[in-house]
């Protein structure tokens, strides 16, 4: 059990990414880019399913980190950015534009915390509270990007890979 617990505590920092002193949330989101890309190449249903399955582990990971080190929503915990960015990029085209815009929009929402993100951040405690505001930021970013994708050409065209 200690091995699993230690793994989840390390997962909370994305195995050390969160310990980068300057802008750990940004680094955590950057570290998520290949994961988001890989999941999206496998298809939107697969990406959504894996993201949903990861959610309880992400919450538990943040909870265990807080129990071990104290405090709430330590800057070192970046697994919440991992989950939030995966949500941001679900069902979007695999283009440079969508990943750059998704990254910037998610980070902006996560940093500024407009309503309801800021409200969730202040009111919900524990591992769930660490993760819930980033989930909200990911959902809002995804909705904005879905609107942009369906109403403009700003996010480019989906790349088609043929063999």
Question: Which of 5, 4, 19 has the alpha carbon at shortest distance from 77?
Answer: 19
Q: Is the pLDDT of residue 17 over 90?
A: yes
The predicted pLDDT at position 163 comes to 58
The predicted pLDDT at position 14 comes to 97
The per-residue DSSP string of 94-130 comes to -SHHHHHHHHHHHHHHHHH--TTHHHHHHH--HHHHH
Instruction: Tell whether 14 is covered by a domain.
Output: yes
State the pTM of this model. 0.92
Range of the domain at 123: 2-151
Instruction: Tell whether 159 is covered by a domain.
Output: no
- Give percent of the chain above pLDDT 90: 88
Instruction: Tell whether 121 is covered by a domain.
Output: yes
Instruction: Tell whether 145 is covered by a domain.
Output: yes
Instruction: Tell whether 160 is covered by a domain.
Output: no
- Number of domains, the chain: 1
Instruction: Tell whether 44 is covered by a domain.
Output: yes
Instruction: Tell whether 163 is covered by a domain.
Output: no
The predicted pLDDT at position 70 comes to 87
Q: Is the pLDDT of residue 42 over 60?
A: yes
């Amino acid at each position: 059990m200690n091995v699993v617990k230690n793994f989840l505590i390390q997962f909370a920092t994305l195995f050390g990414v969160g310990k980068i002193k300057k802008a750990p949330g940004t680094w955590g989101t950057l570290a998520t880019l290949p994961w988001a890309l890989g999941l999206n190449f496998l298809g939107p249903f697969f990406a959504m399913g894996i993201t949903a399955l990861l959610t309880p582990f992400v919450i538990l990971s943040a909870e265990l980190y807080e129990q071990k080190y104290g405090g709430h929503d330590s800057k070192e915990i970046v697994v919440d950015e991992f989950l939030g960015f995966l949500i941001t990029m679900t069902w979007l085209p695999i283009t440079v534009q969508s990943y750059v815009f998704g990254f910037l929009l998610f980070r902006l929402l996560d940093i500024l915390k407009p309503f309801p993100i800021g409200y969730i951040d202040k009111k919900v405690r524990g591992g769930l509270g660490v993760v819930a505001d980033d989930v909200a930021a990911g959902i809002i970013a995804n909705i904005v990007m879905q609107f942009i994708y369906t109403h403009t050409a700003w996010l480019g065209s989906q790349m088609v890979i043929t063999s």
